[in-house]
Amino acid sequence: MNIKGALSEKIAGEITLSPKPGQTIRKWRNIFRINQTELAEHLKLSPSVISDYESGRRKSPGIQTIKKVIEAMLEIDNKRGGKTVRQYNSMLKTQDGIIEIREYPYSISAEDFIKAISGNVVTTKGVGLKKNVKGFTLVDSIKTIETINSVDYASLYGWSAERALVFTGITYGRSPMIAVRVHPVKPTVVVYHKPGAVDTLAIKLAERENIPLVVTNLPLDDLKRKLISIGEK
């Protein structure tokens, strides 16, 4: 399957399986940096129709309509030079050490995300908790942090920096937070899975970046299932 076909399949699957399909359409429209008017003109529809779908005021579109919306976004992207499709192409080359990477069909508050993974916040109360999470990346810290370069590091962020970076295989947790600190792109939440301990420097760095640092002691398989299921509610 070519890149456009794989991307079309991914978008269609997210929209049709989403409990909030309108919000998922909006998410992908924003990823492609297309406004409602531009999409509506391409589809020969009124902008209010797109707005009604995205807000849930209009019944969820059928398969054929979803297909047309996806085709329209890809065609608009192609006319602009195919920037979004190229970004997806680079994402297919998954960085060694990434266990799982997913985008959520709609935003989830950082507080709700942390509760869902039975997380314990170790940074000062209130730090970064008003932000939203739009996806997660589950990382084997030993395979990734010790070998990753600055270019590959960007692959941890998928489609959006508004995500949780979840590190497993943590001993003290200093290296992951140093990596977050020096990179210009910042996640919404950093999660340590069953760390041996949490270095005080890691906590200080997280607080400086206004990022909640969270510890979860769930078994890895349970954590992975919960991370995936958050976007299916």
For 42-95, write each residue's pLDDT tens digit: 999 999 999 999 999 998 888 899 999 999 999 999 999 988 888 776 555 556
pLDDT of residue 60: 82
Q: Looking at the structure, do residues 170 and 119 belong to the same domain, yes or no?
A: yes
Answer yes or no: do 42 and 138 share one domain.
no
Indicate which CATH number applies to the domain containing 32. Answer: 1.10.260.40
Q: Are residues 138 and 227 in the same domain?
A: yes
pLDDT tens, position by position, 109-168? 999 999 999 999 999 988 999 999 989 999 988 767 666 665 566 677 777 788 999 999
Radius of gyration of the chain (CA): 19
Same structural domain, 116 and 181: yes
Residues 66, 105 within the same domain? no
Report the pLDDT value the prediction gives residue 84, as an integer from 0 to 100: 85
Three-state SS string over the chain comes to CCHHHHHHHHHHHHHHHCCCHHHHHHHHHHHCCCCHHHHHHHHCCCHHHHHHHHHCCCCCCCHHHHHHHHHHHHHHHHHCCCHHHHHHHHHHCCCCCEEEEEEEEEEEEHHHHHHHCCCEECCCCCCCCCCEEEEEEEEEHHHHHCCCCHHHHHHHHCCCCCCEEEEECCCCCHHHHHHHHHCCCCCCEEEEECCCCCCHHHHHHHHHCCCCEEEECCCHHHHHHHHHHHHHC
**What is the reported pLDDT for 93?**
53
Of 88, 106, 140, the last residue of a domain is 88
Cβ neighbours around 45 below 10 Å, total: 17
Q: Which domain holds residue 68?
A: 3-88
CA-CA distance, 217 to 219, in Å (whole number)?
A: 6
Please say whether the beta carbons of 190 and 176 come within 8 A: yes
Phi, psi of 201 (to 5 degrees): -65, -40
Rounded CA separation 110/121 (Å): 11
How far apart CA 71 and CA 35 sit, in angstroms, is 15
More confident residue, 8 or 222: 222
Residues 119 and 160 in one domain: yes
Do 104 and 168 belong to one domain?
yes
Whether residues 35 and 83 fall in one domain:
yes
Average pLDDT of the chain? 88
Asked whether residue 50 falls in the same domain as residue 120, the answer is no
118 and 68 share a domain? no
- For β-strands 213-216 and 164-168, DSSP reports them as unpaired
The answer to whether residues 14 and 67 belong to one domain is yes
Structure tokens at 149: 């370069």
Q: Which of 35, 61, 88 is the last residue of a domain?
A: 88
Last residue of some domain: 88, 108, 138?
88
Domain count for the chain, please give it.
Answer: 2
CATH number of the domain residue 175 falls in: 3.40.1390.20
- Residue 160 and residue 196 in one domain: yes
Query: By CB neighbour count within 10 A (0-12 exposed, 13-18 middle, 19+ buried), where does 214 fall?
Result: buried
